[in-house]
Amino acid sequence: MSISFKVNGQVRSLDVDADTPLLWALRDELGLKGTKFGCGAGLCGACTVLFDGSPIRSCSTSLSQVEGHDITTIEGITPAEGLHPLQAAWSEHNVPQCGYCQSGQIMSALALLRENPSPSDDDIDAAMTGNICRCGTYPRIREAIKAAAEARKTSDASVSGGDGRAVS
């Protein structure tokens, strides 16, 4: 069966079982390795991608559920030159330790900032619930999100989030 959906702005069609988890289609069929396998049950957030702009767990989402929709992965937010503002803030605040959860963390943070450009600590904590960092960098994640939000306010330039919606 052929399943068509948009990935990082490009229409893709795959001839795979409709029950195949999106995570494995992204990694194995499309070669997008930034989205990570963590728990396989949608509990840790390492596999988070954006589905029509909202965060989902790709390990527990079947291809049949994404047919005709827009999927954005970590690869889809990185501009041709440099880093996405969230990636830059992650680096500036020394968020990554092992780095395994970071693509999922960044995708959840991106969705948050699209919906709430000036989040409070409570807003950040609520939006990031379910994204587990085994290294415990939660305070730095919060500070990086705040820094990216502040950079967005002071910057005239915006960066596409991969699905055409402006994000900075």
- pTM for the model: 0.89
DSSP per residue, 23-69: HHIIIIIS--TTSPPSSSSS-S-TTEEEETTEEEEGGG-BHHHHTTS
Per-residue pLDDT of 27-77, as tens digits, reads 999 999 999 999 999 999 999 999 999 999 999 999 999 999 999 999 999
Query: Shortest CA distance to 21 belongs to which of 10, 127, 101, 39?
Result: 39
The dihedrals phi and psi of 70, each to the nearest 5 degrees, come to: -100, 125
Domain boundaries, the chain: 2-76, 85-167
Q: Express each pLDDT in 69-99 by its tens digit.
A: 999 999 999 888 889 999 999 999 999 888 8
Architecture of domain 85-167 in CATH? Orthogonal Bundle (1.10)
Fold annotation for 2-76: Ubiquitin-like (UB roll) (3.10.20)
